[in-house]
Each structure stands twice: as structure tokens, then as C-alpha cells.
A and B are shown apart, each in its own frame.
Chain A
Amino acid sequence: MPAEVKQEQSPSNATSLAMMQEPQEVVEETVTIEEDPGTPTSHVSVVTSDDGTTRRTETKDVSANVKVTKMVKTVTTRTVRQVPLGPDGLPLPEGTSPLGSYTDSIDRRYMKNGSDRFITPQATSTLTRSYNNSYNDSYGETPESQYIRHYGLHDGYADLTDNYGSLSRGVNFRPPRYPYMPNSYRPENSYTLPIRKDDYGHVAQPQVPMGSSTVDLNRSQPERFQPEPYGLEDDRRSLGPEDEEPYELEPDYSTANRRTLPGPNRGRTHREPLRDMHRVRGYPDDPIEAELIEERHPYIHGMYSAPLAQPERGSMASLDRMGGRRSPSIDSIRKDPRWRDPDLPEVIAMLGHPIDPVKSNAAAYLQHLCYENDKIKKDVRQLKGIPVLVGLLDHPKSEVHRKACGALRNISYGKDNENKVAIKNCDGIPALIRLLRKTNDMEVRELITGTLWNLSSYESLKMVIINHGLQTMTNEVIIPHSGWEHEPNEDSKPRDAEWTTVFKNTSGCLRNVSSDGAEARRRLRECEGLVDALLHALQSAVGKKDMDNKSVENCVCIMRNLSYHVHKEVPGAEKFQDPSALQAPGSAGPQRKKKDDAGCFGGKKAKEEWFNQGRKSGDNDKNYDTLDLPKRTEPSKGFELLYQPEVVRLYLSLLTESQNYNTLEAAAGALQNLSAGQWTWSNYIRATVRKEKGLPILVELLRSDSDKVVRAVAIALRNLSIDRRNKDLIGSYAMRDLVSNLPSGQQRPAKNLEEDTVVAILNTIHEIVTDSSENARSLIQAQAIEKLVAINRTSQSARETKAASHVLQTVWSYKELRNALTKDGWNKSHFQPAVTVTPKATKNGKPGYDDTTLPLMEKNQGPRKCGSGDMIPMDELCPDGYSTIDQRDKDCKYKTDDGSADPTEREPLKNDTNRKHYIRSNRPAVSLVDACDVKPQPVDSWV
């Protein structure tokens, strides 16, 4: 059973991330190995994503093919959500111009024809990733990846080599364990074996109500090791904590069964197995069972021995591996050929047996049989076993509905969506939800939510789950486990979230369903208490510094998904559409920036006051600085919380503290979503990110090893730069890190980022340098031209080429920079499209050009563009000596236009008037922080 759950469980991987990271190579090995056993491991893929870029790549290659189309789709959806920007900002009409071409390149992935120009580049990029399998890796890392992996597992099981690849990854996790493998039965098995051992150990614990962590481990592991060990694990599960003996016995069972069922042998014996089952599971409460139990001990050995006679080969091996415990039974098994396992129809028939223990044992056995065995799952479905199991969910005896639920969880796991549909078709989803409401048994709740998680991975079931279960899952699981309370009493202390398995499963399920489009988002947003509870849980995670687990990842992913298109979809959003945005988009007016020069640490405001008094732009600035939020009469709640500026701090904390790449990516994606669009709230969000010193945090993440994190951050920066001041700051401080992510010449950078990521970065750079010759100069100083030209000329990727070419054209369009460029040995030909580009683009009126090329930009921004003329000549800003220095140094220095020549001492702290002298053009990479008036100006004194 655990295996099934595992899809969701991927979090466990996260926990072990640290370990995983080390051996990328190992991972590869694992992949090969996996092929042999035919074990599908979703885990592996997950791991890969968590670990780092490298792994991903591997994973991707392997797993991408494997994954089922359906799965892919799921992924896509999520991705889409992530990318909110596109639609808003893009001017449809402009699409024709250079922009159009741009868009095409971006969109390609998404739509091969490039027909969608409407989609903003950002959006496109995000979408694309998820959409295309090849892209899965990067995006896949995110929530979707998990699904993909899951599928992959099944596939792998079925027979795909690729899947194996994914499995291997999981294996990698455990490299240390290999040594444990005692048996050399089969080389392939040996690999699996160690795993089993681990699982086994875990399993033993899980049955007893153990810490959730243990449980997770079990689950996750089982998936990886699909082969025989799984069966064992399942058995254990079904047995439950109660009896040890039965437990051991069952494993044998399972093995035996496996062999038998598929094979021709089935028929041989009678139904001894049934008895065994009863005995094994006997329940003290039940009189019948009690009788059975009494019998069982004497029988046990016999029974076991019976099935064992046949199963020698693989199963035996697995047993041995498990350890000494089983050996006795194994021996007996081999000797005693009398018993046979029930065949599948018999087991299904037993589900309807009048004696409850028979039912529960049959269900448990079914669970075991189905474990990692798609064929059996299908057979169960075709034999109409699923409706019977669903019917048992309403059985009053906990053992019965527990086992039935366990069987359903295994059946629902896997790429075969027909099993999921079959569960739905017999009203399994409402039945599960009913049971969830009814039971207080933690194990049952875990099974239910695990099943729902599995079901939620299939696109067409998402809405069904929402319809039947959303409010129940929220009320029964999310809210209580999050620690959030509707109306806190005075005496009640705020509670922390509990990261239980149930919570993890449920949040995983909601994460899946939250990707099902606008309607699903609406339902979730409007689900009472859901957003509040998720936020509370995340805040609690931040407070406890416990941010790397799967539950947190799920919660952040839900938040990210729900934040997608808030500016369009939220009730009453029209009221917040920022009319001023149309005129003076995102940030302050066009003019002010030139003079103020965003990069400065301090002084901006002073300057503005100096220079911009009475200007409209000045007013805008003021708004942003004071964050003039709409007044609220009552505290915001529900979906409103999604886009309140307060959430920015939460996401930034996650971005600062979490080690989980999926969480990082989702948090960056949430900021990306929130900062898209033109409504009032996105303005606040963009300004708040700056005020909360979020820009340096994001820029820092550009150095992440994780491809997807880099990509999400790059796109977020692009959206944030809709705010003029952010654009200036980002141009000043992020350029170096953006550029360092670009491939240089022949050799790619150490990171070896994917095409998607490179394109995303190029688009972000384009956005930043558009309408800002200052930023274009920063770009030049960051030695980017060489890289851009190289990409433009030699990249294998047409999309990269196109994106680089757009940046180059924009740079060349700043006439005031041409001198510097020429000095560096560049000429016009370097800035022209390598193949076919409209040279005119460079010369065209900027407004039109900008709009078209940059998807992110708002049309409104038109006015700004003309601004280049306003810009202060670069020369003024930077004395050459300094500028060169800056470029080289990773840490920039304070720049001053005073020039080094000025030996005068400045009086520290008294700089207000002098601000403009300080720190000008070159911005230290480190501090993106927007200088606020409040802060003392940085002082430096010549000595």
C-alpha cells in the first residue's frame, strides 16, 4: 500500500535530499539497475528533482519518454498556473511586429506552430516546460514532476526501460545500503534487495502507529522496490500492527501468490490460503476470529510451507534477503506442497464472504497482489472487484473498510487511469469521503487520503474530487492539522501545523486538483478556511524553520496555483484594475527613473524630491513607497489572503530558508504569479517584494544549482521589473548573476542549464534592458555581449538564438552605448540577427518595438520607452576606471560619480544633500535593497 501513497510521498525524498545530492553518478548507475528488476520507482525521479539540476537532467532524459501523455498533461496545467504573466501584459495587436517573432520562439514548445502569440513569453516558457515532456525535468521538479514520476514508475513496471531510469534514481538514494545486500542471487536482485531490507525495517514499524516519518519512508521505499519486496510490504500493511507472526507468514504468502496467480499454476490447490488469511489476521474481538486464531498457530507453519513449495525462484530469494526471520517458514513452505493460493476470482468472491474477517483478509490479500502489479490491477478491474471493494468502504467493521481502502489505494496507483476511473464510476470518491468523515482511525485516514491523492493525479477526476471532497478534506484534515482556527478563543493558543501523513496526502491531493483550471482554482479559493489554513500552516513552518518537508511543498504549490491569475479570476477583481497602470504601468512614471538612477543605495528619494517635484511620476513613487494599500474595514480572509502584500514575507522566508527545490520553485512561482498583471495588488506586491528586501533573495537564488529554481526566479524577476524601480534595481544588481547563468561560447557554464532556463533568462534580461539604457550598460559591463553574440551565432537552439538576438538588438538600439560597444570591438553586424531578423527592429520607435518583443511588458509602458533619450549619459555616471573594476569584481563597490579623483572627505552621515554624488551607476551585486529614505545613506570617506 505504501507504495501507492508514495506518489504523494515524494516528500520523503526531500527529507533525504541532503544525502541524495552527493552522488549524481550513483544515480545514473541506479538507473541501469532498475531496468533489470523492472521496478517502477517514482521516487527516483522525485529525488532527482530535489537534488539538483544534474540529476534532473538525467532523470529527464530517462523519464521524460516514459511518462504517459496524460501525466504530462497534468504537469502542464500546473506549469501554466505558475506562469501568470503572459496574458496580461501582452498586447495582442503588437504581436505582428518583432514581438511576434519573439513570441513564437518562446511559445514553440507550447504550441508547435507558435500560433499563440497572445501568450506572454513568460507564460509560454513556463507552460512549455510542463507541456513538453522534454521540459518536464525542469518543471517536473515541481509538483508535477512527481506525478510524472509516478507514472513513470508504472510504465517502467509495464516494461519501459525508461521508467527504470527513474527508478534508479530512487535507488541512488540508498547507495549506502548496497553493502547490506547479503544475497548474490541475481545481480539485479541484489540491487533491489538492499532496498527491501530498508523497507522491511520500516514496514515493521509502520504498522504500529509510528511516527509519520517512518511511515513515509516505508511508503516511499516500497515504490522504489517494486519487485517482490513490495508484495511483502503490502502484506504487512494489511496485517496491521497486531500480530507479528501473521506478518511474517504473509510475506511468504504474497510471494507465493504472485507466482501462482499470473502463472498457470493457479489452479492446483484448494483454498488453504483463505484459512491462513483468517488466522493470520484474526481479530480478538470477533468470536469467529478468535476461534480461527486458536487454530492458526498450529497451522501456520503448514500453511506457509504449502505455498512455498512452488515459489522458490525469485520469491525465495527475496525472502532470504529479508532476513532470518522468514527462513523457517520458507523452509516449511518448500517442503509442503499441499496448499495453493486462491486465484483472483476466488479472492474477489471472498470479498463478499459473510464472515467479516474473510472479507478483510481477502481485501488485504488483494492489496498485496496488486502491489506494483499492473496486470493484476487490471484483472481486478475486469473481474469487477473494484465496486465490491468500494462497497466495503461503508462496512461498519474497521478492519474491513481499512483493508478495502488499502486495496483501493494500491489499485488507484499507477499510470493506468482506467483503474481510477473505475473507482470513480462506482462512486468510490464519495464513499471515500464518507469514510473520511466517519473514521477517526489514523491509518484509515492515511489510506483514504492516499487513495484520493492517487486518484487526483488523473485529470478528469480532479473536478469530481473537488465536488465531493473539497470541503470535507479541508474541514477534516487541512484545517485541524494546520493549527488554524476559525475564531480563536482567547484562551486558545495558536497552534502549529502538524505534518502528519494525512495532511501530506491531503495537501498532495489538493495540490493536484488545484491545477485543474480556472474553475478548480475558484472552488479552492472559495472553499471556506482552506486558504487561511494553508497560510497558517506555512507560517507555522516558517516559524519552526521546518520548511523542507513534503507537506510544506504541497502547500506552497497549492498557494502558487491559486495565485495564478488572481488578478483576473478573483471576484471583484475588476475593481482593482489599476487605471493608472494603463498610463504609467507598474511603477513610477517614465521620466523619473532616468535621473534618479535606480541603482543607488540611498538618495533616490531625495533626488526625486529634488528633481521631480510636482511630477506625476513623483506621485507614483510616493504611492509605492508608502504602500498605500486599499483600506480594509475588516481583516482579510479567504482568497483575499492570497494576494495581500503580507504573503510576500512568507514566500521570501521560504525562499531564504528552504532547501527543498520544489518549495523554492513554487515560492518563486507564487511571487511570479502575484507580480503579474496590472491590477492594484500586483503593484503592491511588486513594491512589497522590494521593501521586504526580496530582490537580493531572489537574485541569490539565481545561483541555485537547481535549474527549475533558476528559471522560476528569472521569470519572477521579469515580472517584478514591471515596477520601474525594481527594474532599475534588478538591472543594477542582478545582471551579473543573470549573465553568469548564460552559456559562454562553446562550453556551457558549470550549471549546464536547460534551454528553457536559458531562454527565460534571456527574456528577463531583455525585459530589464528594454527602456533602460542604464541597464543595458550594466549588461555590457557584465561582459554579456560576448556571451550573447556567441549564443546568437552558435547556439543549437533556435529559441535561444532568437531570444539572444532580441536582447542584442535592444542593446544596439541605444545609440549612446554604441561608442562603448565599438570600443570593445563590436560592430553592428554582431547585433543583428544571425539568420533573419528585421534590422528595423532596432531602429523602430521603441514603444512599438518594446511591446511586441517583450511579452511581459505592459502596453502602458509605451511612454517609458521613449525615455531612453532622457537617460543620463552613462559617462556621467561612471568613471571608466571604476566601471571596469566593477565589472570584474563580483562584489561591486560603491559607485560614485564623484570619481575617484575627488579626495575630499565626506562627512559621514551628513550626506543627504550629497547623495547624488554617492553610489551611482554601478551597483553592488549584493544589495538590491531599495534605498529608503529612512536608512542612512551609505557613507564613504576618502582617506
Chain B
Amino acid sequence: MSFVPGQPVTAVVQRIEIQKLRQGDKLILGFSIGGGIDQDPGQNPFSEDKTDKGIYVTRISPGGPADVANLRMGDKIMQVNGWDMTMVTHDQARKKLTKQKEDVVRLLITRKSLEETVRLQLKSMLS
């Protein structure tokens, strides 16, 4: 997914709701994120557009809450509980995800396979 800064983003998104898991005295989601506007986007292996400074899911702990909720490695997180995640620092994203008073996070994510699926469907509809 690429976008032009300042322009609305068009993306195929999926809503994912993750129930946090209590581990000790912490609530965890069971995945890790990478990216952010303070990170080097060129090192993000998941983005197609190497200038994309979005937040990406980099790892999933097997069987963890994120895994159960069908989050996948490489997913790009667009929103967390309604908060935009396309223009935030890495740490801001982390904090939004790890608020201890919330035990559910709702993510809006996009992934390549979704876009491809939609594109294929559109294609078949058009043809």
C-alpha cells in the first residue's frame, strides 16, 4: 500500500480485536511491532514502499492472543482503538498498544494478501 502524504489513504483493511492476556502483572498482546516515523523505513522488510514509516507487525508469539485473533506477521497497523498509527513514533505506537487499563485492543490492519484478494475480485468482476 502506498500513499501520498497529505492525501487520504485508500487501503483494504481488516478489523482485528485482540483480548489481552494477563501475564504476571502485565497484559500482553503477543506480538511485536516495528517501524514508526522515528525509524529507518528502509529496514522494514514488510513494506512495499520503502519510505513507509508505518507500524508493522514483526513477530507473533505462537498461540498468543494476537495469533488467536488472526493477526499476521507483516500486517500494517493503521489504527489502534481509533488512534492513527500511520504517523506515530515507534514508542507512541507501543504505548497505545500497551495501555494497562484496557484489556481489549481493536486494530485496523492492512496486509498485502487482502489487497491482492480484493484486486483479484475486482478484476474478475470487471472482466
Contact = CB atoms under 8 A, between A and B. Distances in A.
Interface of A: 601-602, 693, 881-882, 885, 889, 891-894, 896, 900-901, 903, 905, 908-909, 923-927, 929, 931, 935-943
A929 to B, nearest CB: 6
Nearest to A895: B59
Given A908-B38, A908-B91, A939-B90, A891 B32 contact: no
B45 A943 contact: no
Nearest to B112: A891
Interface in B34-65: 34, 36, 38-40, 42-47, 50, 58-62, 64
B77 to A, nearest CB: 10
Contact of A935 (B40, B50, B74): B40
A502 to B, nearest CB: 40
A923 B45 contact: yes
Contacts of A942: 28, 31-32, 59, 61
A909 B90 contact: yes
A926 B51 CA distance: 13
A926 B49 CA distance: 10
Contact of B59 (A896, A924, A926): A896
B43 A938 contact: yes
Contacts of B61: 900-901, 903, 942
Given A937-B43, A940-B32, A943-B94, 18 more contacts: A601-B45, A885-B73, A889-B73, A894-B45, A896-B59, A900-B61, A900-B64, A903-B61, A905-B98, A909-B38, A925-B45, A926-B45, A926-B50, A936-B39, A938-B34, A939-B36, A940-B58, A943-B97
Contact of B90 (A894, A908, A926): A908
Contacts of A943: 28-29, 31-33, 94, 97-98
Given A894-B58, A901-B61, A940 B34 contact: yes
A923 B58 CA distance: 12
Nearest to A884: B62
Contacts of B45: 601, 891-894, 923-927
B32 to A, nearest CB: 4
Contacts of A896: 59
B114 to A, nearest CB: 14
A889 B46 CA distance: 10
A924 B74 CA distance: 10
Interface residues of B, number: 34
Interface of B: 23, 26, 28-29, 31-34, 36, 38-40, 42-47, 50, 58-62, 64, 73-74, 89-91, 94, 97-98, 112
A889 B58 CA distance: 12
Question: Which of A891, A924, A937 has the most B CB atoms < 10 Å from its CB?
Answer: A891
Given A885-B73, A939-B39, A893 B62 contact: no
Nearest to A882: B59
A452 to B, nearest CB: 44
12 contacts: A602-B43, A882-B59, A893-B46, A893-B73, A900-B60, A903-B26, A903-B28, A908-B94, A924-B44, A926-B50, A929-B42, A942-B31
A349 to B, nearest CB: 65
A882 B43 CA distance: 19
A903 B33 CA distance: 12
B74 A893 contact: yes
A894 B40 CA distance: 14
Contacts of B46: 891, 893, 924, 926
Question: Which of B31, B58, B90 has the most A CB atoms < 10 Å from its CB?
Answer: B58
Contacts of B50: 926-927
B28 A891 contact: no
A587 B62 CA distance: 38
A615 to B, nearest CB: 26
